[in-house]
Chains A and B, each alone.
Chain A
Amino acid sequence: VRIRLQASSRASPQGRSVEPRLERSIEWLPAALILTPLILIPFGFKPFAANALALFLIFGLLAMSLSFIWGYAGISSFGQNAFFGVGAYSYGVIALNTIGPFGQTHLAVLGGIVSSTGLALLVGYFLFYGRLSDVYGAIVTLVLSLVLYAFAVSTAGDEWVIGVARLGGFNGLFGQGTNSGNIGNFQIPPITVRLPGMSEPMAFRIDRNTTSGYFLVLGTCIAVYATAKSLLRTRLGRVAVAIRENEGRAATFGYDVRFYKLIMFTLSGAIAGIAGVLFVAWGNFVNPDVFGLSFASSVVVNVLLGGRITLIGGFFGAVALNYLAIFLGGFASNLDQGAFSSASEDPSVAAELVTEVLKRVTVQAPLIIQGAVLVITILLVKKGMVPMLSHFLQQWQRFGWILLWPAVAAFFLHQVACRQASLCLNG
């Protein structure tokens, strides 16, 4: 009844607002369940743990840029890493050149986001105004990132220099020359800004002792997520969903499908660019691998695993898969140290073979995991992890014990981290 009332009261003369609320308002319980451990992690673990998580959140943000268009407008793009990489390279080039004279990197942040947004606008124009079909669009974006990879690799020579920034080919972007205080080769600076009321510019660093970079990443992710979520509640989001459901019908109602798709695609390019800027500021480094095929597939895999119809799914997928990779990496190094062969003095040929195979598999693990997750989610779990989890949560909502979940999760994570990489504070 309530929905019907809402619908009739909000219906405009054109009959465009008949759609009831698409999303519920922010659900505080899940939000608290997710955010509490995220905020607490730097206080319970060494900075290294928080800073690793920051990287995974950046990958999650990139994945979110894909689910923003894939889940809400039905646009598939398999080359989101192209916008990510262009944002990263632009930030790097501008930051290397401006950190000397300005002491801040606000221009670089802006430049990174603007360039990736601009590229998305350009590519989107050709995709949507050329009325390419869904599958073609996905391939064209993928091909774009592969061509950018070929370009980035070919820039190793001495002539590929912008100001003091050397593109560096395979070696990645770095600064060379003299730039007030920096002499010789120097790295891309972290995000450095002077906020109002500060005498000195503040650098959001990621290293052994500081976690300011982690909070910058976390804050940006929350802000971008909230912005995207509220954008999807406006007319833009409703039209996007209408296009996803039935493009022809949306066009019949008088919406310019191409225009709305272009806007959504451009926004997603901007989100990917923000992630790219954070990425290069996180590691002070970027190389052509950001345009590579396996990075491109990791974005898609993260989204599929997390669930493409939710914005938060990409974060889940990215964090889960990357921790799995770390776990298997630790497993592989255990094998190297002979954890398995030490059981018997004289290991049989079969045991040696098994150890060798396991070692090889785990060293190659990222691609095997990605491939397996991709095939299995497509065939079996069509919706992904987050919709399954939230369905579960809704069913059991009245049981208060679920509030224990963060504690359980934190304990579990702590245990895993202590075992795998000696990350705990007093371990």
Chain B
Amino acid sequence: MPLDTATIILLEILNSVTVLVLLGLGLAIVFGMMRIVNLAHGEFFTIGAFTVMAVSEFADLPLWVGMLLAPCTGGAIGIVIERLVIRRLYGRPLDAMLATWGISLLLISAITLIFGPVTHGIPYALGNFKIGRYQYAEYRLVMSVAAIGMMAAVYILLRHTSFGRRARATIANPDMAAASGINTSRLFTLTFGLGAALASASGAILAPMVGVVPTMGALYIARAFITVIVGGPVTLLGTASAASILGFIEATASRFPLLRIETSGFCAPPPCTIVIGGSAFYGQIALLLFAVLLLRVMPEGITGRRGR
């Protein structure tokens, strides 16, 4: 394999890992710390993307303003939703999950009502760079840096701040934490808000690379769930390791054709062939298959047996 092809494949793997980290991080925080599967995760993502779109299109401000604003919008909406709905459903994980599904449908409707059911594109200034015969978008590297930055920020927040210590105490033993004076209910609100803010930030970062449309959450939510399920209960380590493995699998499966099947179709040059593998869709299939097989062996995900 020529050197430039190898480099491009490595970059594609890096990009897959980045996208999976961005998708999974907010969901993993809410799931790992509150044991709530947030089906509205994809919509917080959409909220972030639409914030960037609105700021750059309607207010005519530079992209980074929208990207800084996005987590604030998402976090605020997340906090309101937690106060109104989620807090009534602690201890009923399935009901909480269903309620977030309802919220997700309502959010999709609300965004459609406000912005209309059309796709918005967000122009960005960065160009491409050349690797041998290939071109690669510089913005993708910026995304990787941003993902690493978000992971680091979450690590510092959980390990080295008073909020993080309290949050970890609350997860370890809610009753004891409450007895020692921690306001656990406020902590749950903030954690949900943090998850929503991270999702919105990810949506904002990915927005220039994708079509911004009210139903865009559905495109990403499957991959987000697979990442979190495979990662297991340990938030950061789980997300990082799951994203690395799954990103490798996804990038490989969407790069290399695996199988060619001839069919009796109506193709213009007569022999019709179905190519299995080698497109983004097969990357997702490979992810699902890998996740199902892995869960057969490790039902609690990669970090399942470690405890916290």
B150 within 8 A of A: no
Identity of the chain A residue whose Cβ is nearest the Cβ of B98 in the assembled complex: A378
A294 within 8 A of B: yes
Contacts of B106 in A (CB 8 A): 367-368, 371-372, 375
- B221 x A375 contact (CB < 8 A): no
- A370 x B225 contact (CB < 8 A): no
Contacts of B299 in A (CB 8 A): 130-133, 136
Identity of the chain B residue whose Cβ is nearest the Cβ of A153 in the assembled complex: B281
Q: Would A375 and B225 be within 8 Å (CB), given that A136-B295, A138-B94, A364-B109 are in contact?
A: no
**Interface code A373-385, partner B: CB below 8 Å = 1, 0 otherwise?**
1110011000000
- B284 x A367 contact (CB < 8 A): no
| Smallest beta-carbon distance B45→chain A, Å | 14
A134 within 8 A of B: yes
Partner of B288, one of A147, A292, A304, A379: A147
**Interface code A357-398, partner B: CB below 8 Å = 1, 0 otherwise?**
100110010011011111100110000000000000000000
- B102 x A135 contact (CB < 8 A): no
Contacts of A364 in B (CB 8 A): 109, 112-113
B37 within 8 A of A: yes
A159 within 8 A of B: yes
CA gap between A130 and B230 in the complex, in Å: 13
**Total residues of chain A contacting the partner, CB 8 A:** 51
Identity of the chain B residue whose Cβ is nearest the Cβ of A125 in the assembled complex: B296
Contacts of A135 in B (CB 8 A): 37, 93-94, 97
- A76 x B265 contact (CB < 8 A): no
| Smallest beta-carbon distance B254→chain A, Å | 12
- B101 x A159 contact (CB < 8 A): no
- A379 x B263 contact (CB < 8 A): no
B99 within 8 A of A: yes
Q: Would A161 and B272 be within 8 Å (CB), given that A304-B98, A375-B103 are in contact?
A: yes
B268 within 8 A of A: yes
Q: Would A160 and B263 be within 8 Å (CB), given that A143-B288, A297-B105, A364-B113 are in contact?
A: yes
CA gap between A293 and B102 in the complex, in Å: 12
- B99 x A374 contact (CB < 8 A): yes
- B267 x A158 contact (CB < 8 A): yes
- A367 x B225 contact (CB < 8 A): no
| Smallest beta-carbon distance A184→chain B, Å | 12
Q: Would A159 and B265 be within 8 Å (CB), given that A135-B97, A147-B285, A304-B98 are in contact?
A: yes
A150 within 8 A of B: yes
Partner of A300, one of B98, B267, B292: B98
| Smallest beta-carbon distance A378→chain B, Å | 5
- B266 x A150 contact (CB < 8 A): no
- A161 x B263 contact (CB < 8 A): yes
| Smallest beta-carbon distance B69→chain A, Å | 25
- A140 x B265 contact (CB < 8 A): no
User: B residues 77-115 with Cβ under 8 Å of A?
Assistant: 85, 88-89, 93-95, 97-99, 101-106, 108-109, 112-113
CA gap between A126 and B229 in the complex, in Å: 14
Contacts of A143 in B (CB 8 A): 222, 225-226, 288, 291
A3 within 8 A of B: no
- B97 x A138 contact (CB < 8 A): yes
Would you call the interface of chain A mostly helix, strand, loop, or mixed?
helix
CA gap between A129 and B299 in the complex, in Å: 10
A412 within 8 A of B: no
Partner of B229, one of A139, A157, A292, A300: A139
Q: Which of B95, B222, B297 has the most CB of A within 10 A?
A: B222
B185 within 8 A of A: no
Contacts of A132 in B (CB 8 A): 295, 299
CA gap between A160 and B288 in the complex, in Å: 22
CA gap between A360 and B88 in the complex, in Å: 31
- A126 x B284 contact (CB < 8 A): no
Contacts of A360 in B (CB 8 A): 113
| Smallest beta-carbon distance A242→chain B, Å | 19
Identity of the chain A residue whose Cβ is nearest the Cβ of B272 in the assembled complex: A159
- B113 x A159 contact (CB < 8 A): no
Partner of B88, one of A160, A300, A379: A379
Contacts of B273 in A (CB 8 A): 159
CA gap between A159 and B85 in the complex, in Å: 48
Contacts of B109 in A (CB 8 A): 364, 367-368, 371
A102 within 8 A of B: no
**Interface code A283-309, partner B: CB below 8 Å = 1, 0 otherwise?**
000000000111001001000100000
CA gap between A142 and B41 in the complex, in Å: 14
B125 within 8 A of A: no
Identity of the chain B residue whose Cβ is nearest the Cβ of A129 in the assembled complex: B296
Contacts of B281 in A (CB 8 A): 150-151, 154
Identity of the chain A residue whose Cβ is nearest the Cβ of B229 in the assembled complex: A136
A250 within 8 A of B: no
CA gap between A134 and B97 in the complex, in Å: 11
B184 within 8 A of A: no
**Interface code B259-276, partner A: CB below 8 Å = 1, 0 otherwise?**
000011111100011100
Q: In the complex, given contacts A126-B292, A147-B222, A375-B85, what are 19 additional A-B residue pairs having Cβ atoms less than 8 angstroms apart?
A: A76-B94, A130-B297, A134-B93, A139-B229, A142-B225, A143-B225, A143-B288, A158-B268, A293-B221, A297-B101, A297-B105, A361-B113, A364-B113, A368-B105, A370-B105, A372-B102, A374-B98, A374-B105, A375-B102
11 A-B Cβ contacts within 8 A?
A136-B229, A136-B299, A142-B225, A150-B284, A157-B265, A159-B267, A159-B273, A177-B266, A372-B102, A372-B106, A378-B98
B contact set with A: CB distance below 8 Å: 37, 85, 88-89, 93-95, 97-99, 101-106, 108-109, 112-113, 218, 221-222, 225-226, 229, 263-268, 272-274, 279, 281, 284-285, 288, 291-293, 295-297, 299
List the 4 closest pairs (A to B, CB-CB), nearest first: A374-B102, A371-B105, A371-B106, A375-B102
